Amino acid sequence: MCTKDGLKLHIECPICHKKYKMITNNHLVKKHNITLEEFRNTYKGYPTESEYLQKVRVDVGLAIGSKESVKSFRSAKAKKQHESGNLNPSKTLNDLWENKRDWMRERQHIGNSTEVEFKRKSEVSRRLWSCPEWVNSRRDRNIRCELSDNVLYVRSSYEKVACEFLDSLGVKFEYETRVFKYYYDGRFRNYIVDLYLPLHDIYLEVKPKDFESDDKNKAKIQSVIDSGNIITYVDEDWIRSIDDFKSHLSEYIKI
């Protein structure tokens, strides 16, 4: 095992037992058909970077943080935290991720499905994006929903039941294909509606009743209404049985 400054330069993949500087999501998906998140859940506590690379990252971070040019861009709150040494980087990263999540999910959802974007990808990437199971795993869809003519992956058990009922009733629908802009907490965000009935121009948002009164969800629904569209919640009362679902849906479309 090669070392530098007494630290190991490589780390061994516990699956294929080959040595790498870093175990990446790309390697895991291509070689072992699992994601980095699944790897971490399976091999809890197993490092994904060599000892030397971990030290380099820390040293580089400290060096960058100590530069005057970087300090000048910090907010008054950040400067105070750095001066006092009372830092909480994990909270900062979580806040950054929360602010970018909606935008990133929309770009992944729409951008990766366009023909131009697909052609731009490498041969391996094209193969991955042609696999529905892999695509849905990237979009946090992990519940398999078997329909009459295809298989769909959804995010919740409520969505699974709603899709199966629509399929049984012969109602054509699209899952997470329409995006609306809504304003919440001081900025505009992207809202991907759960279900769209193209032949009836109706939107369905699948949510438990407890979430319907949430301010963020209210803002989402209002953005669809303000765009001149019809949208309704699909909650526990709808999915209790297919007869209940049909009864509620018949208030909006003819079945």
CA-CA distance, 97 to 101, in Å (whole number)?
6
Q: What b-and-e string marks burial along 172-195, b requiring 16 or more CB atoms within 10 Å of the CB? A: ebebbebebebebeeeebbbbbbb
pTM score of the predicted model: 0.50
Do 62 and 56 touch, CB atoms closer than 8 A? no
Biggest CA pair distance of the chain: 74
Confidence at residue 133, expressed as pLDDT on a 0 to 100 scale: 60
CA-CA distance, 3 to 9, in Å (whole number)?
5
Confidence at residue 135, expressed as pLDDT on a 0 to 100 scale: 60
pLDDT in tens, the chain (255 residues): 577 777 888 889 999 998 888 888 888 888 888 888 888 889 988 988 888 877 776 666 555 555 555 555 556 666 666 666 665 555 555 555 555 555 555 555 555 555 555 566 667 666 665 665 666 555 566 788 889 988 888 888 999 999 999 999 999 999 988 889 999 888 888 898 999 999 999 999 999 988 888 899 999 999 999 999 999 999 999 999 999 999 999 999 988
Confidence at residue 121, expressed as pLDDT on a 0 to 100 scale: 61
Burial tier of 55 (Cβ tally within 10 Å: 0-12, 13-18, 19+): middle
